[in-house]
Amino acid sequence: MTSASHDVHEPPAQLDGFHEECGVFGVYGSDEASVLTALGLHALQHRGQEAAGIVTFDGAAFHAHRALGHVGENFGADSPQMKELRGHVAIGHNRYSTSGNVNPFMEIQPFSSELAFGGFALAHNGNLTNAGKLRASLIETGSLFQSSSDTEVIVHLVARSHRADVTGRLTDSLKQIEGAYSLVCVADDMLIGVRDPYGVRPLVLGRIGDSWIMTSESCALDIVGASHVRDLEPGEMLVIDSDGVHSHKPFQTVSPRFCIFEYIYFSRPDSVVEGRGVYHARKSIGAELARESHVDADLIIPVPDSGVPAALGYAESSAIAFDLGIIRNHYVGRTFIQPTQKDRTDSVKLKHNANPEAVRGKRIILVDDSIVRGTTSRKIVTMMRNAGAAEVHMRIASPPTTHPCFYGVDTPSRDQLIAAHLSIAEIASEIGVDSLAFITVDGMYRAIANTVRDPETPQFCDACFTGEYPIQLASGLSAKRVSHGSAA
Ligand code: AMP
């Protein structure tokens, strides 16, 4: 394990601007490859809302469409672009990043290029921690980059590899890469899926009739009626062609470190990741939180939507009534997507409103999945007091977020993380609650995996809560991480 202070190499400043939370989908062997991909991306919309793209292969040529905005706006079943996306193989990508791009259109994945061996298309979920150094040396030796995305480094490395076959070239490239990646690629009439050796980000295999699917979450299999075959293993490369599915393990084995935040917030509650239902995990966290930090109250109120399953678990375990004291407007994006602090503050109001009938005169416990900057909590607590709540307590279904993520989940720089600088008592006074508690790290492990955290080899990547980064970070990366507002 490598700590954040491990000296590796210097990243260029721009690396800090592009951290992507994304969703990927790939299908092999369907006449409706592009339709299945559009549906899959729609199910994964929560993983990225800035842009979406689909690339198909029809046995002779590649076809692509990329667009800013939501999947439904750009990949409607009868749209002219869907008719152009011919072929039995397709990959697609939802993108979250929003800031720092000179030309956001150039950042939209899948990336596709004509390489020496033929066409190659790639979609990536994760974040590469040594992309800056690799990019600098590729540029020095003649590569022309089209985007500022770390993902494009992989394409250039594949192009330069001397290996004869595509899977060899991809393996060559990924052996030079550090960081978190779940990839789907199309080349040479094959669909290739790869998970990094730590398995930080999810990737699952599904089947529908004679077609195969690889995608970020099982909810994207459900929407097309595919069965969930299994998760790809950490470090596994699955190659799917007309002969079927071939599994390779090209990397050195390390202890897996799946991202625990996928359970807390990022994955959809109806997905099953790494063999665990996300909804069940969230409810268990709520129940554990109630055991760890009981407080007398009249009502449990979830902060919708992400706090709902934990609040239900809390209510069941504490036998306190559950009610909807906050109503969410579903027609605004995630709070985080706004580019400035002011916009973000206003958008909390756009997104949530009090339901005074439920809360007036009541001692309430608000349950949310996390506190990052404290913006949401502060607004919601004020809203509850204005609606007449007698007492406002808050319970958080994750430990304090003290460190930024460098493996593909958007978190602001450390200076903006409220828990990096304030004690729990100070946060409580800052957001204006009568009491505040976060689940403990061990409580979170108990709830999700029925075990406590092994300090020698933690079972998950929990760097955002512990500061222990399993994959090397370029020197100074954590210290240097600049505020990037809306970037993901
Ligand atoms: P904040 O207002 O900065 O404290 O953000 C906390 C809220 O943002 C919580 O209600 C979470 O549901 C949500 N949240 C936490 N992490 C993320 C993330 N990485 N991306 C988007 N939203 C998040």
Give the end of a domain, one of 228, 257, 286: 257
The alpha carbons of the chain give a radius of gyration, in whole angstroms, of 22
pLDDT < 50 regions, the chain: 1-19, 98-100, 334-335, 337, 339, 479-488
From CA 333, how far away is CA 305, in angstroms rounded? 12
Beta carbon of 333 within 6 Å of any ligand 1 atom: no
Together in a domain, 329 and 252: no
The answer as to whether 53 is a domain residue is yes
Q: Which of 262, 278, 336 has the most ligand 1 atoms within 8 A of CB, as the residue to mutate?
A: 336
The answer as to whether 172 is a domain residue is yes
From CA 100, how far away is CA 391, in angstroms rounded? 42
Q: Which of 22, 185, 259, 461 is catalytic?
A: 22
Of ligand 1's atoms, which has the minimum distance to the CA of residue 410?
A: 19
Cα of 410 from ligand 1 centre, angstroms? 9
Beta carbon of 369 within 6 Å of any ligand 1 atom: yes
State the CATH number of the domain containing residue 158.
3.60.20.10
Residue 476: the pLDDT is 57
- Nearest CA, atom 5, ligand 1: 372
Beta carbon of 411 within 6 Å of any ligand 1 atom: yes
Cα of 376 from ligand 1 centre, angstroms? 8
Cα of 142 from ligand 1 centre, angstroms? 40
What's 337's DSSP letter? Answer: G
Cα of 197 from ligand 1 centre, angstroms? 28
From CA 45, how far away is CA 75, in angstroms rounded? 13
Please state the domain count of the chain: 2
Together in a domain, 458 and 348: yes
| CA dihedral angle for residue 44, residue 106, residue 28, residue 193, rounded to 10 degrees | -80
Lookup result for tokens 């800031």: 99
Lookup result for tokens 């239902």: 277
Residue 8: the pLDDT is 27
The residue range of the domain holding 408 is 273-468
Give the end of a domain, one of 200, 228, 257: 257
Residue 111: the pLDDT is 97
From CA 21, how far away is CA 7, in angstroms rounded? 26
Beta carbon of 20 within 6 Å of any ligand 1 atom: no
The answer as to whether 1 is a domain residue is no
Together in a domain, 249 and 281: no
Beta carbon of 71 within 6 Å of any ligand 1 atom: no
Beta carbon of 262 within 6 Å of any ligand 1 atom: no
Together in a domain, 244 and 310: no
Residue type, 447: A
Together in a domain, 289 and 393: yes
99-120 as b/e, with b when 16 or more CB fall inside 10 Å? Answer: bbbeebeebbbbbbeebebebb
Together in a domain, 301 and 153: no
Beta carbon of 111 within 6 Å of any ligand 1 atom: no
Q: Count CA atoms closer than 13 A to 145's CA, side-chain side.
A: 21
The answer as to whether 137 is a domain residue is yes
Q: 83: which residues sit within 8 A by CB, 6+ positions away?
A: none
Of ligand 1's atoms, which has the minimum distance to the CA of residue 348?
A: 2
Q: Verify whether residue 185 is a known catalytic residue.
A: no
Strand-by-strand arrangement of the 435-438 sheet: 321-322, 299-302, 363-368, 391-396, 435-438
Residue 15: the pLDDT is 35
Together in a domain, 67 and 198: yes
Cα of 242 from ligand 1 centre, angstroms? 43
Together in a domain, 158 and 217: yes
The answer as to whether 95 is a domain residue is yes
DSSP one-letter string for 450-485: SS---SSS-SEE-HHHH---SS---TTHHHH----T
371-390 as b/e, with b when 16 or more CB fall inside 10 Å? Answer: bbbbbbbbbbbebbbebebe
The answer as to whether 296 is a domain residue is yes
Together in a domain, 252 and 280: no
Beta carbon of 375 within 6 Å of any ligand 1 atom: yes
Of ligand 1's atoms, which has the minimum distance to the CA of residue 374?
A: 4
Of ligand 1's atoms, which has the minimum distance to the CA of residue 303?
A: 10
**C-alpha dist (Å) from residue 169 to 33, 112, 239, 246, 419:** 25, 16, 13, 17, 43
What's 332's DSSP letter? Answer: S
The answer as to whether 476 is a domain residue is no
- Nearest CA, atom 15, ligand 1: 370
Of ligand 1's atoms, which has the minimum distance to the CA of residue 373?
A: 3
Residue 92: the pLDDT is 98
Q: Which of 20, 264, 265, 422 has the most ligand 1 atoms within 8 A of CB, as the residue to mutate?
A: 265
214: β partners: 26, 205
Closest CA to 261 of 201, 197, 214: 201
Cα of 22 from ligand 1 centre, angstroms? 16
pTM: 0.92
Angle at CA of residue 342, ends 338 and 347, nearest 5°: 50
The answer as to whether 225 is a domain residue is yes
Residue 343: the pLDDT is 57
Q: Which of 22, 376, 394 has the most ligand 1 atoms within 8 A of CB, as the residue to mutate?
A: 376
Together in a domain, 252 and 290: no
Cα of 371 from ligand 1 centre, angstroms? 6
Beta carbon of 409 within 6 Å of any ligand 1 atom: yes
Cα of 266 from ligand 1 centre, angstroms? 10
State the CATH number of the domain containing residue 374.
3.40.50.2020
Together in a domain, 142 and 65: yes
Together in a domain, 337 and 425: yes
Region of 450 on the Ramachandran plot (φ > 0 left; ψ -120 to 50 alpha; else beta)? left
Cα of 336 from ligand 1 centre, angstroms? 6
